[in-house]
Structure 1
């Protein structure tokens, strides 16, 4: 696969999660995907498998936030590993506070061109602040 192919796949995953199309998003994940949300982030932890990723991260984002988005801004490529720099934003449904925070996502693709490893690096402070009343 080319760098452009990987970028297209990841751009589509950001689009799908932003629209709440989680079942379609899951098609891009390996069955045994390892997904790590950063320490200090509200959904911190490492989740193994599609269902664990959806249940512990993406479904919560969809139910706890309004207009939550992860906007990819820059991509860097190293074979099957792709690093994405971008910006999160959203409004917490309970506190009604909004935030913006920079992130770096590191993806690794398997031989079937599925995401099999994800690591999040993020400035968690604005996110946590938005969740407090």
Structure 2
């Protein structure tokens, strides 16, 4: 399963980076829970593919230039996957750029869909990029 989970998640990073949000939604369970970290600009928990895309991924695509979430390494514990990576981008409103470490924790359901997502991130560098 580890290889399958890594393949699926890597595809989600590629799809969101390319703005293929409708395809990205097919990787999520109908009742998927997506939690953006406290302190992050899009902090909160969103439920369902439409809410996740509307409140997180559409905003990343429209409010940032060259926003990227690079998946670097993976760890596995049953149906839970831990992804270490780096965010980067330039906030359009300020022209400021950032780079930040992240860990994403995913939980898959029995249909191999993302059931739960939790973001852990150094949000300070991201917030600084959004401040005028």
Shorter-chain TM-score tier: over 0.9
How many angstroms apart in 2 are the aligned matches of 1:3 and 1:16?
A: 20
Task: After superposition, give the CA deviation of every residue in 1:32-62 in whole Å (9 maximum; x if it has no partner).
Answer: 0000000000000000111110010000000
TM-score normalised by structure 2 residue count: 0.99
How many angstroms apart in 1 are the aligned matches of 2:61 and 2:90?
A: 11
Residue number in structure 2 paired with 1:83? 82
Residue number in structure 2 paired with 1:92? 91
Moved over 6 A (4+): none
Residue 132 (structure 1) shift:
1.0
CA RMSD of superposed structures (Å)? 0.5
Residue 79 (structure 1) shift:
1.0
Structure 1: give runs of 5+ residues left out of the alignment: none
Structure 2: give runs of 5+ residues left out of the alignment: none
How many angstroms apart in 2 are the aligned matches of 1:8 and 1:30?
A: 17
Task: After superposition, give the CA deviation of every residue in 1:37-96 in whole Å (9 maximum; x if it has no partner).
Answer: 000000000001111100100000000001101001110001110000000000001101
TM-score normalised by structure 1 residue count: 0.98
Residue number in structure 1 paired with 2:100? 101
How many angstroms apart in 1 are the aligned matches of 2:4 and 2:50?
A: 25
